[in-house]
Amino acid sequence: GTGLVTATPEANDVEYLSPVTIGGQTLNLDFDSGSSDLWVFNTQLSRAATQGHTIYDPTKSKTFALMQGASFQISYGDGSGAAGNVGTDTVDIGGATVTQQAVELATAVSRSFVEDTNNNGLLGLAFSQLNTIQPAPQKTFFDNVKSSLAEPLFTADLRAQAAGAYEFGRVDTSKFTGEMTWVPVNTTDGFWQFTSEKFSIDGGAPQTSTAGAQAIADTGTTLLLADPAVAQAYYAQVDGAVDDEQQGGFTFPCNAQLPDLQLDVGGTMATVKGTDINFAQVDDQTCFGGLQASPAGLQIYGDIFFKSNFVAFNGGNNTLGFAQH
Ligand SMILES: O=C(CCCl)NNC1=[NH+]CCN1
């Protein structure tokens, strides 16, 4: 089978939310290819924490079962996190269905999740080895649904300030232009990880940032966090750009002409449109860059990258497909 859901951007495209039906109850969740837990806001959380949120009530589901003695605790690259207990229930995403999917019920969530009232939980789409359930890690929705899909893959079609889609089981070739390039994924760390060591600016001469530099395809991260050499070289081409510690990264005059950026994905260059690199206004003249330096050694290609690139995640042969859209 297949499954298709809309991916609706929040303000400033900070994240994208998609409807998921759990035991007959539909919540909007953030699909996150950079983590591997499915957790939801639910009736166990305090009234203060759930104010404004849509919550899952396991007592109202005919198909819910508690996973005795199981718990989870997750923290994300941005410092946010959640923890709680675990059950199983029937999970449906646009027609693709898993019975007895591990559904993690938060009993504590960090402030940023409480404040983001459109976000009612996360659905992890990285590899199951990263699942945080104890005493025994559980499989992601994609791992569970994969064998029932027409093709063992899902695609992310995220758009700048417009509705996009996640699709399970097929590559809709009408969603992109040109050819799709497939690259091998290194699953050792549990991410959709690939080599990305070259870059060019506005189609200029390719430069190497760091030999062997790795990147992950991460729909759960808002920005494009690249090797510091990439960010330095890019903003050197933008008049008035500065690395502003107070703002927490590179800013530039909002009327700046932003060049396109090419990044290699497993050896083939993918383009990130300059227009997508203007992330958000931070004061009347100043804008904050969608491209920033990655703090760790790992590059994290988040939603900014996906706005220019349609990406297919193939769990059958552990490859990633990229195409401009
Ligand atoms: O945690 C990460 C980075 C993995 Cl290296 N991505 N996923 C995510 N979910 C919420 C914030 N960020």
- The residue-averaged pLDDT of 244-262 equals 97
Question: Tokens in use for 263?
Answer: 């990044």
- CA gap 117, 295 in Å, rounded: 28
Query: What pLDDT is attached to residue 295?
Result: 78
Cβ of 125 closer than 6 Å to ligand 1, yes or no, is no
Degrees, nearest 5: CA angle 126-97-320 = 30
Q: Which of 37, 168, 59, 26 is nearest to 113 (CA)?
A: 37
Burial tier of 52 (Cβ tally within 10 Å: 0-12, 13-18, 19+): exposed
Burial tier of 274 (Cβ tally within 10 Å: 0-12, 13-18, 19+): buried
Q: For atom 2 of ligand 1, which residue has the closest CA?
A: 77
Burial tier of 127 (Cβ tally within 10 Å: 0-12, 13-18, 19+): buried
Question: Tokens in use for 109?
Answer: 């969530």
The preferred substitution site among 80, 119, 221 for testing ligand 1, maximizing ligand atoms within 8 Å of CB, is 221
Largest CA distance in the chain: 60
Distance 62 CA to ligand 1 centre (A): 32
Place of tokens 């675990």: 86
**Interval 153-188: pLDDT, tens:** 999 999 999 999 999 999 999 999 899 999 999 999
Given a cut of 80, whether residue 267 has pLDDT beyond it is yes
Distance 38 CA to ligand 1 centre (A): 13
Measure the N-to-C terminal CA separation of the chain; round to a whole number of Å: 25
Cβ of 200 closer than 6 Å to ligand 1, yes or no, is no
Cis amide bond preceding 135, omega within 30: yes
Strand order in the sheet with 299-301: 193-195, 214-217, 299-301, 224-226, 291-293
280: number of Cβ within 10 Å = 14
Query: What pLDDT is attached to residue 209?
Result: 97
Question: Tokens in use for 219?
Answer: 């729909």
Cβ of 77 closer than 6 Å to ligand 1, yes or no, is yes
Q: What is the band of 225 on the pLDDT scale with cuts at 50, 70, 90?
A: very high
Given a cut of 80, whether residue 80 has pLDDT beyond it is yes
Q: What is the pTM of this model?
A: 0.98
DSSP 5: E
Annotated catalytic residues are 32, 218
Cβ of 76 closer than 6 Å to ligand 1, yes or no, is yes
- φ/ψ of 305, rounded to 5, equals -65, -40
Nearest atom (ligand 1) to Cα of 221 = 12
3-state secondary structure of 259: coil
- The residue-averaged pLDDT of 302-311 equals 98
Query: What pLDDT is attached to residue 204?
Result: 97
Nearest atom (ligand 1) to Cα of 300 = 5
- The residue-averaged pLDDT of 93-105 equals 98
Cβ of 35 closer than 6 Å to ligand 1, yes or no, is yes
Query: What pLDDT is attached to residue 105?
Result: 99
- CA gap 57, 98 in Å, rounded: 19
Burial 210-241 (b: 16+ CB within 10 A, else e): eeebbbbbbbbbbbbbbbebbbebbbebbeeb
Query: What pLDDT is attached to residue 287?
Result: 98
Query: What pLDDT is attached to residue 135?
Result: 98
Percent of residues, the chain, with pLDDT higher than 70: 100
Distance 122 CA to ligand 1 centre (A): 10
Q: For atom 5 of ligand 1, which residue has the closest CA?
A: 77
Residue 263, C-beta contacts closer than 8 angstroms, at least 6 positions apart: 196, 198, 199, 215, 226, 230, 269, 270, 272, 301, 305
Cβ of 239 closer than 6 Å to ligand 1, yes or no, is no
Percent of residues, the chain, with pLDDT higher than 90: 98
Q: For atom 8 of ligand 1, which residue has the closest CA?
A: 220
Given a cut of 80, whether residue 21 has pLDDT beyond it is yes
The CB-side HSE value for 246 (13 A sphere, CA atoms) comes to 4
> To which H or E segment does residue 233 belong?
helix 228-235
Cβ of 268 closer than 6 Å to ligand 1, yes or no, is no
- The residue-averaged pLDDT of 77-87 equals 97
**Interval 63-73: pLDDT, tens:** 999 999 999 99
Given a cut of 90, whether residue 296 has pLDDT beyond it is no
Q: What is the band of 125 on the pLDDT scale with cuts at 50, 70, 90?
A: very high
Query: What pLDDT is attached to residue 297?
Result: 86
Query: What pLDDT is attached to residue 273?
Result: 98
Distance 108 CA to ligand 1 centre (A): 18
- The residue-averaged pLDDT of 81-88 equals 98
- CA gap 82, 92 in Å, rounded: 23
